[in-house]
Chain A
Amino acid sequence: MIDTNPAERPASINAGARTPKAITVAILAMGGEGGGVLADWIVDLGEHSGYYAQTTSVPGVAQRTGSTIYYLEMFPEAAVRAAGKEPVLALMPVPGEVDIVIASELMEAGRAIQRGLVTPDRTTLIASTHRVYSMTEKTAVADGRVDPAKLIDAARAAAKVLVHNDFARIAEQTGSVISAPLFGALAATGGLPFSRQQFEEAVRRGGVGVESSLAAFAAGFSAAGEPRAAAAGESEAGWPKLGPRLHALAKRVEASFPPASHAILLAGVQRLADYQDESYAAEYLDRLDPIRDLDAQYGNGDFALLRESGRYLALWMSYEDTIRVADLKTRRTRFERVHREVRTGQTQLLAINEFLHPRVEEISDTLPAALGRWLLNTGWARRLVERFTHQGRVVETTSVSGFLLLYFVASLRRWRRRSLRFEREQRRIGEWLAQVTALAPEDYALAVEVSECPRLVKGYGDTHLRGSRNFDAVMDAVPMLRRAADGARRLKKLREAALADESGQKLAEALREVSA
């Protein structure tokens, strides 16, 4: 979509009126992302359309996925002939003096603004709104993503004209790379004094993947003028609808729980019926009954305690054991999803290989509680099993034997309630809920924070162990915080510290502060 900045002022009539000036273009991209191709197209376009064109860049090692900037200047040959002299073109952009900025990704658009290259009196900014997440965003233990809306707002405020769309998706849909739709969008803005046909001729002269590039060019051209689809395709998941078998439970939710909690509770009911059975889902609601009452009595009416307890109780009760993993991995819907994701063609075959590493811990967890404990605590038996589980296994779920193996593990669902893990998790759930219920009357805010603490427990194996340790450490601090005036805020800080790094250093520091 093309947004024109209302704050735009008419271009100042300075020296530009007397002597011609270069058209300046900056391209901000990541190494290997097609910025070079785009720059080459623009140079070729200029040189074949009566312009001097100069481009340069500082690729260096930035070509290895780092941020990199390409800079171009163009100057009319007619003016060169009239003056009888060659123009002096700059090799780097001057902040505030750039006519067109093309950013191949949203954070790179932000970087262009930060560098002062985008100004409201002059710059047309063409930005792809898709995200290539930075390492900081990706490695966060929880959610480290920046807010794309803020970046788009900043772009709208900084540019004279803003063209933004998910050009990466357009490239993907047209079987091309992002440079082609961005080139199309550039043509659509009219920022360069060349016709669409001249643009397309430059793509043809490039000679590589001409047909798909032209298709992507056309799609980019029209996308620049269209209203934009949902923000960067990042629509968060919708709430699922319940099937007929769960109508009774759904009615119970609607009749006896406040509307603010319905979405979460219905999702919880569905999840647990899918995980185990309807009676397990009913137990879920039984456990929430007392919390609802406490929330009604001590809460402020938005039922935060009920909602967060409902969220994390559903997740905790559907903890990821080997049975659950095998169940999810063998489903028809999952096979279909993988087909879509890897784009298997009509005539192609697909094999799906799982990377599983069940250790003695996971095996004992799945066994009946007494047997599981025996295996864990009996040296020779444990060592025997460890010999066979020392290495991970690759299981081909699309093969008959691999599927049967996982199908068998999934079928242990019927005995799950007797397993060691079930016993342990239910006990821990009980302790957590007891804590929540005990706190609600005396410090509602602290109870809400405690209800959110299971967010710390994630993953499998060592990751799960680390999460559980952090959870225990944070929960151990609750008695101390109970006496503090701002216990809720301090607990929240502890939880954030636990999610701040993997090593647990931040949490240890935060805990020292609490006990000090």
Chain B
Amino acid sequence: MAERSFKREVQKLYLGDGEEFHGEGILAVTKALLQSGVSYVAGYQGAPISHLMDVLNDANDILEELGVHFEHSASEATAAATLAASVNYPLRGAVAFKSTVGTNVASDALANLASGGVTGGALIIVGEDYGEGSSIMQERSHAFAMKSQIWLLDPRPNLPSIVRAVEQGFALSEASNTPVMLELRVRACHVHGRFIAKNNARPRFTLSDAVENPVRDVSRIVLPPASFLHEQEKIQKRWPAAQTFIRENALNEFFAERAQDFGIILQGGMYNTTVRALELLGLADAFGECKIPLYVLNVTYPLVDDEIKRFCGGKRGVLLIEEGQPDFIEQNLHAILRKAGLETRILGKDVLPMAGEYTAATVIQGVLKFVERYAPHLIDKERLPRVVRRLAGVPEPAGDQIHPRPPSFCTGCPERPIFTAMKLVERELGEHHVSCDIGCHLFSILPPFNIGATTMGYGLGWASSAAFKTGKTDKRTISIMGDGGFWHNGLTSGVGNAVFNQSDSVLLVVDNSYTAATGGQDILSSHAVNPIRTTKLSIADAVRGVGVKWVKTITRTYDVAGMRDLLKEALTTKEKGPKVIVAQSECMLNQQRRVKPLMRKLANQGKRVVRERFGVDADTCTGDHSCIRLSGCPSLSIGPNPDPLRKDPVATVLDSCVGCGLCGEVAHAAVLCPSFFRADVVSNPSAWDGLKGGVRRAVIGFLQRRTDRRLAGIFAG
């Protein structure tokens, strides 16, 4: 079960003709899929697409009512291959994943799909994780569209436009026998807005119809000679068909087209930012009525030559607002104008930066430069927005007062003790080469742990240390992989590879029962009972199944000493061959979500419940903070020193502590200090608890009064 529940929101999917939908972009996309008569949906989670997968999961009953099949795919490649159902049958299908990382994984299937083409509408929804808050390499999905000839939609970021893009995307796909990619930027995925709904449509041709009446067409299979035919077909048939459809259905939009002899061409996704920039420069109003002609590319690939020529014809200059690099659209635009013999000057990456996110501030600066060149009289120099006036006199806090605050392991995270143990091993055996993977565990590369040298992609933790196989040293490398990455492809690309190539290195699989980093979705090794998925499969069994002999499982990662000793054993054992440690403990975020309400309920029913949390005795803490450097837990913080003689802040445990036990284990394993204590608070104590408590109070109270007498007169009052 995922971290966030959409059970309440998914009821909005029942809205019918004319009713107004209010909600998040990703929920609107789901509604649009149902309105479009989709037959099947698949995908792989990852921000900003996680919420889409969670919505679909929570909406499974609604999907089933409509005869829609939904799958949590094993990977993006699986998701993309699922679209094969639309090759031979008039079935509309959609898949979703994070881009560009998910698109990288999916690209093999996508290329094959695009080569043969589709019969039913095939929509690939990619969540573009670019710019602020992104966790991946900064690249463009545009390249995938170009290389495989998949049409790319980049709609204006408001719900009516996004919903329309889904609906028209299917139609475009069918009209041109080509898969269509719908690109949604992070903010568009999470935008809360409104649109007028339509009734959901049940697919006319069903999945059963297809299974019961199989169709094959050898000309659609990527094998010579058909593959050569496909290439010709892409250029001669599908491309013109797409351009015609885009033009006839006005997928791209023109605003104030003849208002000036210069204008702006922009990606649909950049529309709101551009209009805000124009508004602040006094060139548009809040409703998008602008004084400058705009040509909005809701389809960024392919460009429609006729429309370009129409917009640029008679214009002295055009500004292209194209986020990301390389500047594919700009190059294409130059080529189209040159071939058409048009002299229109194109400005793009010369007044805007070549690389990096186009924030509102960036776009304002670029548009200002452009308009100043073509119509300086339109700019009121007295009323420039503050961001270009370079506010003088607004004091900023000194840079050293503001520290970066990157994400890190949550309170009580079971992955933290693994890295604490690795820090302790590092003290004894020295540093090792550590290959990381993708997932929460990658936070280890940041302080306080500073562990990990590379990350090559999801599930590729072990693969990325493959080169370090040399008989010349006894030192082993360590690779890390999450359970998500393991099932995604790590079992074959990492474990199978290590067995086949007789690796002697160590793999540590973090098994926390969920794909935790993407929001706690279930996977094969989850412990949850999931009515629509098969779970509870063992990672250790899978590893043994592909031939690893040295496999050890630790079922409580908080056992720092045990974890440390196991790692040491794996790094130093005489036994040759690949070694796998499976470190199991449930993701604390998800555990708390499950356990906390349960505990509260039991306590309210009068049942005996024990709540554990940690604390630090401020009078024995000397303020060195070693404990924090070995943990980094958000609940383990610092506070003012109650001792007037000491200057350094003491360690302190905040009330958000969930009592995971790491503080105590670290104090033991690293021989830190005796300041930590664990408090067990017993609600609804039993009669035995009460009796025991009475005896304790009597004995301890007697002795404490003796101590009080010894100390009498030292403190006033």
Judge: A and B partners, yes or no. yes
Interface residues of A (CB under 8 A from B): 12, 14-15, 19-22, 30-32, 43, 47, 52-69, 75, 79, 83, 85-97, 107-108, 110-111, 113-114, 116, 119-121, 132-143, 145-147, 150-151, 154, 157-158, 172, 234-246, 263-264, 267-268, 270-271, 273-274, 311, 314-315, 320, 324-325, 327-332, 334-335, 338, 341-345, 347-357, 359, 391-392, 394, 397-400, 403-404, 407, 410, 455, 458-463, 467, 502
Give chain A nearest CB distance to B324 CB in angstroms.
16
Give the interface SS of chain A, mostly helix, strand, loop or mixed: mixed
A315 touches B403 (CB 8 A): no
Docked Cα-Cα span, A244 to B443, in Å, equals 55
User: Nearest 7 pairs between A and B by C-beta?
Assistant: A96-B386, A392-B668, A245-B713, A58-B133, A66-B407, A241-B716, A134-B403
* Most A Cβ at <10 Å: residue of B634, B637, B644: B644
A92 near B715: Cβ-Cβ < 8 Å: no
B704 touching A332, Cβ below 8 Å: yes
Whether A234 pairs with B405 at a CB distance below 8 angstroms is: no
Q: What's the least CB distance linking A103 to chain B, in Å?
A: 12
Ordered by A's residue number, 23 sampled pairs between the chains whose C-beta atoms are within 8 Å are A59-B47, A64-B517, A95-B386, A107-B405, A113-B396, A132-B637, A135-B405, A139-B628, A158-B395, A242-B714, A246-B714, A267-B644, A344-B679, A347-B683, A349-B690, A351-B680, A392-B667, A392-B668, A399-B696, A403-B696, A455-B648, A459-B624, A461-B672
Q: Are A66 and B644 in contact (CB under 8 A)?
A: no
Q: Which residues of A contact B619 (CB under 8 A)?
A: 328, 334
Nearest to B516 among chain A residues (CB) is A64
Q: Does B632 contact A (CB under 8 A)?
A: yes
Chain B contact residues (Cβ within 8 angstroms of A): what range?
A: 35 or more
Known: A138-B638, A347-B683, A461-B671. A87 touches B286 (CB 8 A): yes
Contact status A235-B407, CB under 8 Å: no
Q: State the B residues within 8 Å of A (CB).
A: 22, 47-48, 129, 131-135, 157-158, 186-188, 190-194, 271-273, 275-276, 279-280, 282, 285-289, 359-361, 364, 383, 385-387, 389, 391, 394-410, 440, 443, 446-448, 517, 561, 613, 615, 617, 619-620, 622-626, 628-629, 632, 634, 636-638, 640-649, 655, 663-664, 667-674, 676-685, 689-690, 693, 695-696, 699-701, 703-705, 707-708, 711-717
Among B186, B280, B644, point to the contact of A237 (Cβ < 8 A): B644
| A273→B714 contact, CB < 8 A | yes
Task: Give Cα A183–Cα B319 distance, bound, in whole angstroms.
Answer: 42
**Per a CB cutoff under 8 Å, which of B191, B683, B714 touches A270?**
B714
Set B133, B383, B668: member contacting A59, Cβ < 8 A: B133
Question: Given known contacts A19-B286, A96-B385, A353-B678, is B703 in contact with A403 (CB within 8 Å)?
Answer: yes
Using Cβ atoms and an 8 Å threshold, which residues of chain B touch A138? 625, 628, 632, 636-638
Is B407 a contact of A65 with CB atoms below 8 Å?
yes
The answer to whether A243 and B715 touch across the interface, beta carbons within 8 angstroms, is yes
- Assuming the contacts A67-B405, A398-B700, asked whether A92 and B360 have C-beta atoms less than 8 A apart, the reply is yes
Contact assessment for B623 and A142 in the assembled complex, using a CB-CB cutoff below 8 Å: yes
CB-based contact A119/B157 at 8 Å: no
Bound: A57/B272 CA distance, A: 15
Q: Are B671 and A459 in contact (CB under 8 A)?
A: no
Q: Which residues of chain B have C-beta atoms less than 8 A from A86's C-beta?
A: 158, 287
12 more contacts with CB within 8 A, not counting A135-B408, A355-B663, are: A15-B279, A15-B285, A57-B187, A114-B402, A141-B625, A158-B396, A172-B655, A239-B644, A331-B704, A392-B669, A463-B622, A463-B626
Enumerate chain A residues within 8 angstroms of B655, measured Cβ to Cβ: 172, 343
Bound-state CA distance A238–B619 (Å) is 14
Q: Is the Cβ of B387 less than 8 Å from the Cβ of A94?
A: yes
Query: In the complex the two chains form, is B637's CB within 8 Å of A60's CB?
Result: no
Q: Are A355 and B403 in contact, CB atoms less than 8 angstroms apart?
A: no
With A14-B383, A145-B649, A502-B629 as contacts: A85 and B289 at CB distance below 8 Å: yes
Residues from chain A with a CB closer than 8 A to the CB of B288 are: 85, 87-88
Structural contact, B674 and A356, CB atoms closer than 8 A: yes
CB distance from B30 to the nearest CB of A (A): 17
Identify which of A66, A95, A324, A394 gathers the most chain B CB atoms within 10 Å of its CB. A95
* CB closest chain-B residue, reference A329: B617
Please tell me if the beta carbons of B287 and A56 are within 8 angstroms of each other in the complex: no
* A398 contact from B273, B275, B696, Cβ within 8 A: B696
**Chain A residue with Cβ nearest B647:** A143
In the assembly, what is the distance between CA of A462 and CA of B383, in Å?
64
C-alpha spacing A96/B714, complex, angstroms: 59
